[in-house]
Amino acid sequence: MASYIDEQDGVFPSVCSLDCPDQCGLLVHKKSGRIVRVEGDPSHPVTKGSICNKVRHMPERLYDSQRLQYPLKRIGKKGSGQFKRISWKEAIDTITDRWKDLIDSHGPESILPYSFYGNMGNLSAEGMDRRFFHRLGASRLDRTICNSAGSAGYRYTMGGSIGTDPEETVHAKLFIFWGVNAVSTNMHQIALAQKARKNGAKIVVIDVHRNRTAKWADWFIPILPGTDAALALGIMHILFKENLTNKEFLETYTVGSEELREHVAQYDPSYVSMLTGVPAGDIYKLARMYGEISPSFIRIGNGPQHHDNGGMCIRTISCLPALTGQWLKRGGGAIKGNSAFLAHNSDALQRPDLLTHNTRTINMNLIGKALHELEPPIRSLYIYGCNPAVVAPEGNRVREGLLREDLFTVVHDLFLTETAEFADIVLPASSSFENTDFYTSYWHHYIQLQQPVIKPWGESKSNVEVFRMLAQGMDFNDSCFQDTEEEMIRQALDHPENPYLNSITFEALAEEQYMKADRNTLFPETLPTPSGKIELYSQEMERDGYPPLPTYMPIPEESFPLLFVPAPNHNFLNSTFSNNEKHRNMEKAPQLFIHEEDAILRGIANGDQVILWNDRGECSLQASVGQDVLPGAVISLGLWADFPGTKQLVNSLTPDRISDMGGGAVFFSGRVEVKKA
Ligand SMILES: Nc1nc2c(c(=O)[nH]1)N[C@H]1C(S)=C(S)[C@@H](COP(=O)(O)OP(=O)(O)OC[C@H]3O[C@@H](n4cnc5c(=O)[nH]c(N)nc54)[C@H](O)[C@@H]3O)O[C@H]1N2
Ligand SMILES: Nc1nc2c(c(=O)[nH]1)N[C@H]1C(S)=C(S)[C@@H](COP(=O)(O)OP(=O)(O)OC[C@H]3O[C@@H](n4cnc5c(=O)[nH]c(N)nc54)[C@H](O)[C@@H]3O)O[C@H]1N2
Ligand code: SF4
Ligand SMILES: [Mo]
């Protein structure tokens, strides 16, 4: 396999490792052994050489003087951020000695891994780490913080993460960006829609915020948070009533269309208007557009599913394309996610068979609660590829939990993050440009290989390498802990169960750099649902205790007046880049968008510093007063994280309730009050 490490100068292929659907192909320019420039790879069929600003500035982050170079051990009080350099040997010995003691006295379940997709590489995020913790018998983590409610909801309708091939969407004539700020979070879907727009396509955005995507659209429909299922049901009501459905498609490819037709009679547009804040006239206009324009494509975002009713919401929206038969039209349909097409052999990669007894599973959204209340307690946390002190809900509870003197915490990251400040041992992580890995997008259909371009920064190490060392320290002799990265990739690609992966071998991938899933039909003949069809009526849902038909269920009331939606921003990637001066300057300030009616009531003027609070905590932001949100809702952008003593941590305010499906997070269903600071 090629390694570009020893080449001092040149341009080398690479892939963006961030948790972003676009998963861009990159070209990395090296001079005298250092990366001096990162640009898009023009030959990548989907991302075509354009990349976002965040990653264009990546060299600054790679060579940031703050980047961790050595293992550290805590010398000051817990959380005080005082550390001293130690050797890797001391770090690994300290961790494994402590874990051996804990296993003897309290069992392996006293240890909990806590990770997410800070690096989307399959080996980095769910490879050697999973093998290690399975073998250890540690408590298991349910990784629910991102899209699990939406995925669960979508699965009831479609059977899996199966959507339109985004490359086909250039043929669509109507785009609905539904709760997705794609200009910031999926820029190449915007490029494809822009191309279609030149051929006459119309762009509709449904969102709680007049965000960058809304400003770019032909028609922005503002909606009250958590009410999208009602809007989708109102559209269905009109489609059935006005005979705008595709009967042939419904008969051949779906189950339950008759039940659905009867069921949606109750979602009269005037009633739906009352629930959603969308005028009845607009509901008619939208439904008729959707019924008449074809092909139509819905990009379903993550926003609507970060609510208590998020699973059912996505379940409901995902029924729409079937009603008008869009799945058989080139470019028609929807994307929530597309991971099924590149599913690899995760059993071979993660080795669940190494776990020989039943262990408890902990929902990552409940980490604050778990650190305080769980019996028997969690006594050690190993955190990697994730920054829970900033990104997890009920943030104050999380940070108080991390302060527990008896909790032994290890954090593996590229920077001394807000979470790492609470660690007992900090380990330096190499960047993805320093590792071997393979990447599978959850939006487009390409698998890509990452081969190391530069040597690891300081003494930093990849996730795979650290877990190899930890396995050795724990005296695990299983040969899988000695597998090379190349061997692991081969094991993952050997997956006869996924026909879309048929022609993709390690050799071919090493040769090509990126390869497309073997998808040769617009729409799979049979879906992985119980009936093999699109399930408008789902017996499985009934069995699982949900209404079998798409249904609107309001989010619970809280005793504060304003719904608070703390969404991501343009120049950070979750909390990544929030420590970078340039990115912070591009964002200007952490803002709170508030409707002028709500602002006047509270004596708040544009640009005022305001305090937001509820039972869970408080936070301070700068007011942006106007009409970018509906009255009754306020919106912030970005996971800012000044530390310590910051008041910008929006997750101090977010609830750790669990959504209706998939154990998902409900970041956008909390309520606050706001006053001038
Ligand atoms: N620049 C940038 N790109 C990113 C990220 C980032 O932080 N920054 N994060 C990455 C990750 S991990 C993810 S999961 C994706 C997420 O990207 P998206 O899928 O775009 O999801 P969000 O940005 O969470 O929310 C999208 C929109 O939903 C809106 N929203 C909130 N509640 C509701 C609702 O009830 N109804 C409707 N209709 N809209 C609602 C918000 O106002 C927001 O504009 O982006 C990825 N890409
Ligand atoms: N209020 C609010 N909260 C949210 C959201 C929201 O919209 N609003 N979005 C939620 C969503 S959708 C998500 S996905 C989560 C994301 O939350 P996180 O997964 O915590 O994402 P990041 O904040 O980007 O942190 C990723 C960390 O991984 C580190 N990292 C990168 N590469 C590697 C590597 O190879 N090895 C190791 N060991 N570390 C690495 C980075 O330096 C960074 O510190 O946040 C959730 N939290
Ligand atoms: S963050 Fe997204 S848009 Fe930016 S380079 Fe990476 S994959 Fe592309
Ligand atoms: Mo996410």
CB distance 134 to 349 below 8 Å: no
Residue 415 Cβ contacting ligand 2 at under 6 Å: yes
| Torsion, CA 455, CA 460, CA 462, CA 466, rounded to 10 | 140
Predicted pLDDT at 645: 58
pTM: 0.98
Which ligand 3 atom is at minimum distance from the Cα of 22? 7
Residue 153 Cβ contacting ligand 1 at under 6 Å: no
Cα(289)–Cα(299) distance, integer angstroms: 16
Q: Which residue has the tokens 């699973």?
A: 311
pLDDT digits (tens, 9 = 90+) for 466-511: 999 999 999 999 999 999 999 999 999 999 999 999 999 999 999 9
Residue 117 Cβ contacting ligand 1 at under 6 Å: no
Please report the domains of the chain, with CATH numbers, ordered by start residue.
Answer: 72-138+346-440+458-482 (3.40.50.740), 149-338+525-543 (3.40.228.10), 562-654 (2.40.40.20)
509 class by beta-carbon count within 10 Å (0-12 exposed, 13-18 middle, 19+ buried): middle
Residue 21 Cβ contacting ligand 2 at under 6 Å: no
Report how far ligand 4's centroid is from the alpha carbon of 665 (Å).
10
Residue 245 Cβ contacting ligand 1 at under 6 Å: no
CB distance 666 to 655 below 8 Å: yes
Q: Which residue has the tokens 């609830």?
A: 655
- Residue located nearest, by CA, to atom 13 of ligand 1: 20
Residue 38 Cβ contacting ligand 1 at under 6 Å: no
CB distance 367 to 412 below 8 Å: no
- Residue 271 neighbours by CB distance under 10 Å: 16
CB distance 113 to 409 below 8 Å: no
| Residues linked to residue 672 through DSSP beta bridges, in sequence order | 562
SS3 content of the chain, % helix, strand, coil (to 5): 35, 20, 45
- Residue located nearest, by CA, to atom 11 of ligand 2: 146
- Report residue 575 CA to chain centroid gap: 12
Residue 663 Cβ contacting ligand 2 at under 6 Å: no
Residue 441 Cβ contacting ligand 1 at under 6 Å: no
Residue 179 Cβ contacting ligand 1 at under 6 Å: yes
**SS3 annotation, 276-315:** HCCCHHHHHHHHHHHHHCCCEEEEECCHHHCCCCHHHHHH
- Residue located nearest, by CA, to atom 6 of ligand 3: 16
Residue among 19, 20, 439, 514 to mutate when testing ligand 3 (max atoms within 8 A of CB): 20
Residue 209 Cβ contacting ligand 1 at under 6 Å: yes
CB distance 305 to 659 below 8 Å: yes
Q: Which of 354, 343, 350 is nearest to 493 (CA)?
A: 343
Report how far ligand 4's centroid is from the alpha carbon of 658 (Å).
16
Predicted pLDDT at 582: 92
Ligand nearest to the CA of 212: 1
Report how far ligand 2's centroid is from the alpha carbon of 575 (Å).
6
Report how far ligand 3's centroid is from the alpha carbon of 243 (Å).
42
Cα(464)–Cα(236) distance, integer angstroms: 48
Residue among 15, 18, 119 to mutate when testing ligand 3 (max atoms within 8 A of CB): 18
Predicted pLDDT at 548: 98
Q: Which parts of the chain have pLDDT scores under 70?
A: 1-2, 643-646
Report how far ligand 4's centroid is from the alpha carbon of 573 (Å).
9
pLDDT digits (tens, 9 = 90+) for 559-609: 999 999 999 999 999 999 999 999 999 999 899 999 999 999 999 999 999
C-alpha dist (Å) from residue 599 to 114, 209, 222, 278, 622: 40, 16, 18, 22, 12
Predicted pLDDT at 1: 62
Report how far ligand 3's centroid is from the alpha carbon of 23 (Å).
6
Residue 155 Cβ contacting ligand 1 at under 6 Å: no
- Residue 6 neighbours by CB distance under 10 Å: 8
**Residue 532 backbone class (left: φ over 0; alpha: ψ -120 to 50; beta: rest):** left
Cα(616)–Cα(612) distance, integer angstroms: 11
Cα(364)–Cα(384) distance, integer angstroms: 13
Packing angle, helices 463-473 and 128-136, rounded to 10 = 30
Residue 185 Cβ contacting ligand 2 at under 6 Å: no
Residue among 639, 650, 656 to mutate when testing ligand 2 (max atoms within 8 A of CB): 639
First to last CA, the chain: 58
Q: Which of 580, 563, 574 is nearest to 638 (CA)?
A: 574
Q: In degrees, to the nearest 5, what angle opens at C-alpha 143 toward C-alphas 660 and 131?
A: 145
Which ligand 2 atom is at minimum distance from the Cα of 432? 35
pLDDT digits (tens, 9 = 90+) for 116-162: 999 999 999 999 999 999 999 999 999 999 999 999 999 999 999 99
Which ligand 3 atom is at minimum distance from the Cα of 187? 3
Residue 417 Cβ contacting ligand 2 at under 6 Å: yes
Q: Which residue has the tokens 């992966």?
A: 501
Provide CB contacts within 8 A for 193, sequence distance 6+. Answer: 169, 172, 175, 177, 182, 201, 203
- Residue 237 neighbours by CB distance under 10 Å: 22
